[in-house]
């Protein structure tokens, strides 16, 4: 059984592709999709997509790129989307590569979402670019005993990876990074204990932060099977063993078995 620990089904704009992915997922052994929103304007879209298939687990949150777009009352609305349902908080985090987005505002929005995730005991998915020290300090000050979080598409240093693991993080790697930077990225995969590893496609963002031209169901399954194959190679284990471990990790991350 495969999981995709991070993707954006609401951003698939090619007609029929989402329907085909869901229809063919069983054939490829895909049993759970972690569908992340990025801004208030697509929370309802994610909610609608969730209703299409029981395998979709929704995440609602504000990505740092959209931190300056939130309106008063956004946090109360976020709590509304999260209460009384199986859902996570995401995609949230910090991004210093975006010089056009005020970092203080990013930090403020991130703090508030961590508070909500902690209060409601919801899992959360973290985006980080060039803000590793800031992120670590914030997490150390805001994690609760019930906190469960995943570092999405990790591309930081081995040293920072160890710090996040010490904080109880699950760590997810994406197909686009493993196949593009195989040697260094596979070294990072080897550092993650098997009981903390998650894998993702970040579909439909399979090549960069922009939508790729090839947004198709077959491209999706190629990415998902590809990241599992590369991770199994890095770990030096058979794919069946890897799949069982990632499934167990994903279930623990979503539903409350703590890693630490």
* Cβ atoms of residues 65 and 58 within 8 Å: no
Taking only the tens place, the pLDDT of each residue in 65-88 is 999 999 999 999 999 999 999 999
pLDDT at residue 257 is higher than 80: no
13 Cα distance to chain centroid: 20
Strand order in the sheet with 124-129: 2-7, 30-36, 56-60, 88-95, 124-129, 149-151, 170-174, 197-200
- Condensed to tens digits (0 to 9), the pLDDT of residues 198-237 reads 999 999 999 755 555 689 999 999 999 999 999 999 999 9
Angstrom distance (rounded) from CA 242 to CA 2: 10
At 235, list the tokens.
């770990």
Residues 6 or more apart whose Cβ sits within 8 Å of residue 22: 52, 53, 55
Which domains, and CATH codes, for the chain? 2-255 (3.20.20.140)
Q: Which two tokens stand for residue 211?
A: 């939508």
Three-class secondary structure of residue 111 per DSSP: helix
Query: In whole angstroms, what is the distance from residue 169 CA to residue 3 CA?
Result: 18
């Amino acid at each position: 059984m495969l999981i995709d620990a991070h993707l954006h089904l609401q951003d698939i704009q090619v007609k029929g592709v989402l329907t085909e992915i869901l229809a063919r997922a069983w054939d490829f052994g895909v049993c759970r999709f972690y569908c992340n929103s990025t801004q208030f304007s697509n929370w309802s879209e994610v909610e609608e997509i969730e209703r299409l298939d029981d395998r979709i687990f929704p995440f609602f949150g504000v990505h740092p790129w959209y931190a300056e777009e939130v309106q008063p009352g956004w946090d109360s609305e976020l709590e509304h989307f999260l209460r009384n349902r199986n859902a996570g908080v995401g995609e949230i985090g910090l991004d210093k590569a975006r010089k056009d987005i005020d970092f203080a505002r990013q930090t403020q929005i991130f703090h508030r979402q961590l508070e909500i995730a902690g209060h409601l005991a919801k899992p959360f998915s973290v985006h980080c670019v060039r803000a590793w020290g800031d992120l670590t300090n914030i997490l150390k000050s805001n994690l609760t005993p019930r906190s469960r979080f995943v570092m999405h598409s990790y591309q930081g240093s081995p040293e920072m990876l160890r710090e996040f693991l010490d904080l109880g993080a699950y760590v997810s790697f994406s197909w686009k990074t493993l196949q593009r930077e195989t040697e260094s990225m596979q070294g990072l995969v080897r550092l993650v204990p098997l009981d903390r590893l998650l894998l993702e496609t970040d579909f439909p963002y399979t090549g960069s932060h922009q939508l790729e031209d090839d947004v198709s169901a077959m491209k999706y399954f190629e990415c998902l099977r590809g990241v599992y194959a590369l991770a199994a190679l890095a770990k030096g284990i058979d794919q069946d063993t890897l799949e069982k471990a990632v499934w167990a990790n994903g279930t623990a991350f979503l539903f409350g078995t703590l890693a630490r």
